[in-house]
Chain A
Amino acid sequence: MGDEDRRADFTALYLREVDGQVRRAALLTGSAETAHDLVHDAFVEVYRRWDGLREPGPYLGRSVLNRCRDHARREATARRRLPLLVERDQAGDEHLWDALQALPFNHRAAVVLRYYHQLPQGEIAELLGCRPGTVGPWLQRGLRALRKALA
């Protein structure tokens, strides 16, 4: 594949995916700026590996989620040392937004992928790199924690 073809194919993927990936990452990290950074880095990685990727789309999705997970881990570590008040959802329902952002990453991701992207459990498991049977408990625990927080 020539450079021009590769760039054209990658650009098509980028334009098709960037919007959804940034919005998803923003829901998972609670920050549009962080989402842009993480998604940008994932795209750079995909482009570098372009010739060796059989399915760049799914690879991109997993890469973005992994970067969100790493970000959540770093944030959690930092928060334990210097707890932060998270930025609140400007669109309202702040209690629910706060509770969502406070969920463990896998629970939060399962909830976002189910309720925003409306994905079935099999696809959620593929994106999160877990067994399909694991998604259900993550969703249940996430929803239980949200109900408890709202009670």
Chain B
Amino acid sequence: MNDLDDRLTDLLTRSAAAVEVRPDVDAVLGDDRDAAVVDLGRRPRDVRRLLALAATVLVVVGLGAAALVARPDDTRPLDVTDAPAAERRFPVFGDLPASLRDHRIEATDGAGTVHSFGDREDGDQLVRAALGKVADDGSVSDVIQLVASASTPEGPPGPPADEIEDLGGGYRLAVTVGQVEVYGPGTTVVAVGGPDTEDLIREIAGTSLTATTVVDGVPTLTLGDLPDGYTVTAPPTPADPEQAEAFVEGDYGVPTTVVETGVGSPDLAVISAGGSYVPVDIDGAPGVIAVRERRTIVAWTAPGGVHVRVASDLGEDDALLIARGIRLVDQAEWRRTYPERPEGEAPPIPAATTDHPLVGEPAPPVGGSTIGVAAYHPPQDAGEWTIVSFTATWCVPCVEMLDRLAPVHRDLHAAGRASVVSLFVDDTVAAAATVVEEHEVDWQVLVTRPSDVEPWGIDGTVPATAFVDPDGTVRGVVVGLMTGREIDQTLDALGG
């Protein structure tokens, strides 16, 4: 048995042994006796999961900022205040209607101000919303994300009908089963619905936000001087211009700092664990800090952009030391730090694109039902490159990607470069047909069973995109959401 086998067996055995099993057969029998109300009884459990999800997420959205480490030697004393949760109210909510004053709110805005929230009790309603002004080109500005909760004795409402509504002023609202989303073509953001969700969003949509700076560059972070024992292991040179990651490695051998930008939007999103946040002053900027188990989380803002660190396995002092060392840079400095690729040089192929067992192999045949307006032609018979998009109606980013594929299909097919095939994975024909009609999909569409696409090795992980050359050979597979520009660039890089 090799080392990985041993480690896996050991890890799984220890992890399973650590699970505290609480048998309660009476609860099962009781649920069955109350079968008529079981479905209602399940909802609060779902809400609790959502609350747990929300309590473990702090999302900070910023726009057009790049940051560099500069002053790790700043040792100004901290002003740590354990303010009551009720006083940590984000100014933007100062004009909330009286009926919403009791909501507890966590929010971030485009300028990066962060507010957190206290613990919630089971049964509370949760509203998570994000708003942004969506321009015609898909860019999003004045982004705000918020979470609010309120006690609602009647419990959550039933799922509202699917609909998309123009809220005016560039805001658009989608209400889908069990949740509310406000989105534009360049981003998808999430809200979990409560009885007053739409009213709340309408109210907040009219609130003026702090002005933000939109830069057409790449938001990312780099790290400089760090405390002893910490090294930068993955400098943020993003392969994806809309994504960046930074990791700080500690002595523990685990990633201790994670910074990610939003996908498909210029938003800078930083994800952290939950916990009780305490306001701190960081070089005059308001921030929050939380120490939870082995993680220390610091989030704060500065004029013009967002400064954030999520540091686990760091002590509070070290985390703040890193936090203080970041400063914003302008686009010119960013360009000097990360020069653009020389003209004429072939674009790099993202490593993940060709790191798939199917690459170099003939495209597997696909079964399923053809729907929509276009007849299906196997890649071998297409006479041009085929972009095979694995999608699903139950996958929100996949549906978003359908909109992105429309111009890709139109432009590439017209140029004789490539055609697009969308394969709905693990869907019904009726569900897929509805989405195809709603999104005016005019390219080839197949509705498949999981076994139909099993040879592609996609395993239900959608969205995913395969690039097949005119000879029918798979040249690249990308798992995850892609923008139209990325699809075009990847096709270009692969020689298509």
Contacts and interface: CB of A to CB of B under 8 A. Distances in A.
Interface of A: 7, 10-11, 14-15, 18-19, 22-24, 26-27, 32-37, 40-41, 43-44, 47-48, 73, 76-78, 80-85, 88-98, 100, 104-107, 111-112, 115-116, 130-131, 134, 137-138, 141, 143, 146-147, 150
Interface string B6-46: 01111111111111111111011101100100100010010
Nearest to A148: B355
A95 B253 contact: yes
B57 interface: yes
Nearest to A95: B254
Contact of A48 (B7, B32, B263, B480): B32
A138 B57 CA distance: 31
A35 B10 CA distance: 20
A60 to B, nearest CB: 11
Contacts of B461: 76, 104
Interface in B352-397: 357, 394-397
Interface residues on B, range: 35 or more
A73 B8 contact: no
Contacts of A90: 18
A18 B19 CA distance: 12
B188 interface: yes
B454 interface: yes
B80 to A, nearest CB: 24
Contact of A27 (B16, B273, B454): B16
A97 B271 contact: no
B59 interface: yes
B142 interface: no
Contacts of A92: 11, 14
B8 A115 contact: yes
Contacts of B77: none
B106 interface: no
A88 B312 CA distance: 11
B28 to A, nearest CB: 5
B271 A82 contact: yes
B396 A115 contact: no
B258 interface: yes
A15 B28 contact: no
A41 B42 contact: yes
B5 A115 contact: yes
B457 A137 contact: yes
Question: Which 3 pairs across A and B sit closest by C-beta, in order of nearness?
Answer: A116-B12, A23-B16, A91-B14
Contacts of B8: 96, 100, 111, 115, 146
17 contacts: A10-B28, A14-B23, A22-B21, A27-B15, A32-B20, A44-B38, A81-B190, A82-B57, A82-B190, A82-B271, A84-B57, A85-B272, A91-B15, A100-B8, A104-B461, A116-B9, A130-B451
Nearest to B479: A104
Given A40-B28, A44-B31, A73-B394, A89 B11 contact: yes
Nearest to B52: A33
B56 interface: yes
Contact of B460 (A48, A95, A98, A105): A105
Given A32-B20, A81-B190, A130-B454, 11 more contacts: A14-B23, A23-B19, A43-B28, A81-B397, A84-B53, A85-B271, A96-B11, A104-B460, A116-B9, A116-B13, A116-B16
A26 B15 contact: yes
B49 interface: yes
A19 B20 CA distance: 9
Q: Secondary structure at chain A's binding surface: helix, strand, loop or mixed?
A: helix
Contacts of B59: 82
A44 B18 contact: no
A127 B104 CA distance: 44
B12 A27 contact: yes
B189 interface: yes
B13 A48 contact: no
A24 B21 CA distance: 11
Contact of A7 (B17, B29, B35, B457): B29
Nearest to A83: B271
A84 B271 contact: yes
Contacts of A112: 12
A3 to B, nearest CB: 10
B481 interface: yes
B4 interface: yes
B459 interface: yes
A77 B57 contact: no
A95 to B, nearest CB: 6
B53 A93 contact: no
Nearest to A114: B8
Contact of B4 (A37, A97, A143): A143
B239 to A, nearest CB: 16
B16 A26 contact: yes
A79 B441 CA distance: 26
Given A15-B25, A95-B254, A105-B459, A84 B56 contact: yes
A78 B189 contact: no
Contacts of B460: 73, 104-106
A77 B397 CA distance: 7
A81 B188 contact: yes
B109 interface: no
Contacts of A134: 454
A41 B357 CA distance: 37
Contact of A15 (B5, B23, B42, B263): B23
B124 interface: no
Contacts of B42: 41
A80 to B, nearest CB: 5
Contacts of B16: 23-24, 26-27, 116
Contacts of A137: 457
A106 B29 CA distance: 31
Given A34-B49, A77-B395, A81-B190, A115 B25 contact: no
B242 interface: no
